[in-house]
Amino acid sequence: MKKIIYFILICLFLSGCTSQPLSKNDKLKLIVASDLHYFLKDYYQDCEWFEESMLYGDGKMVTYADEILDVFISDIKKEKPDLVILTGDLSFNGEKGSHQGLANRLKEITDAGINVAVIPGNHDVDNIFAKGYGKDDYMDVEKTNADDFLSIYHDMGYNLAIERHSESLSYRLDLNQQFSLLMMDSTAHQLTGQELDVGGFFTDSTMKWLGEQLENIKSQNKTPLMALHHNLTDHNDLLNKNYTIKDHQKIADLLQSYQVPFVLSGHIHCQNIKKINDIYDIASSSLLDAPLQYGIIELDTQGMSYQTQSLKISKDADEYFEQVTKNRFIERLESITDQNTKESVLDVIARANRYYFAGTISEHKDEIMKMPGYAIINKEDKLKFSQEYLASMLIEEVTSQKLSIKFS
Cβ atoms within 10 Å of 13's Cβ, excluding its own: 11
* Binding positions for Fe ion, 248-277, rule CB under 5 A: none
* Nearest distance from C-beta of residue 255 to Fe ion, angstroms: 23
* Nearest distance from C-beta of residue 337 to Fe ion, angstroms: 36
Cβ atoms within 10 Å of 94's Cβ, excluding its own: 30
CA distances 53 to 24, 47, 223, 267, Å, are: 48, 10, 45, 21
Which is nearer to Fe ion, 36 or 279 (by Cβ)?
A: 36
Options 35-43, 151-159, 308-316, 397-405: segment touching Fe ion (CB under 5 A): 35-43
* Nearest distance from C-beta of residue 160 to Fe ion, angstroms: 24
Any alpha helices (H) in 163-316, and if so which ranges? 204-219, 248-257
Would you count residue 289 as binding Fe ion (CB under 5 A)? no
The 3-state DSSP class for residue 92 equals coil
* Binding positions for Fe ion, 187-216, rule CB under 5 A: none
Torsion region of 90: left, alpha or beta (phi above 0 gives left; psi -120 to 50 gives alpha): alpha
Beta bridge partners of 279: 276
Would you count residue 124 as binding Fe ion (CB under 5 A)? no
* Nearest distance from C-beta of residue 188 to Fe ion, angstroms: 16
Would you count residue 89 as binding Fe ion (CB under 5 A)? yes
Options 27-35, 172-180, 334-342, 371-379: segment touching Fe ion (CB under 5 A): 27-35
Contacts with Fe ion, 133-162, as mask; x by CB under 5 A: ------------------------------
DSSP 282-331: EEPPBTTSTTTEEEEEEEETTEEEEEEEE---SS-HHHHHHHHHHHHHGG
* Nearest distance from C-beta of residue 60 to Fe ion, angstroms: 8
Options 39-47, 85-93, 180-188, 245-253: segment touching Fe ion (CB under 5 A): 85-93
Evaluate whether 313 touches 71 at the Cβ level (below 8 Å). Answer: yes
Which is nearer to Fe ion, 168 or 265 (by Cβ)?
A: 265
Tell me, by CB under 5 A, how many residues bind Fe ion. 2
Which is nearer to Fe ion, 82 or 289 (by Cβ)?
A: 289
Evaluate whether 59 touches 290 at the Cβ level (below 8 Å). Answer: yes
* Nearest distance from C-beta of residue 94 to Fe ion, angstroms: 11
CA separation for the pair 264, 284 (Å, rounded) = 7
Which is nearer to Fe ion, 273 or 394 (by Cβ)?
A: 273
Q: Which of 35, 174, 234, 281 binds Fe ion (CB under 5 A)?
A: 35
Q: Which residue, judged by CB position, is nearest to Fe ion in the bound state?
A: 89
The residue ranges that bind Fe ion (CB under 5 A) are 35, 89
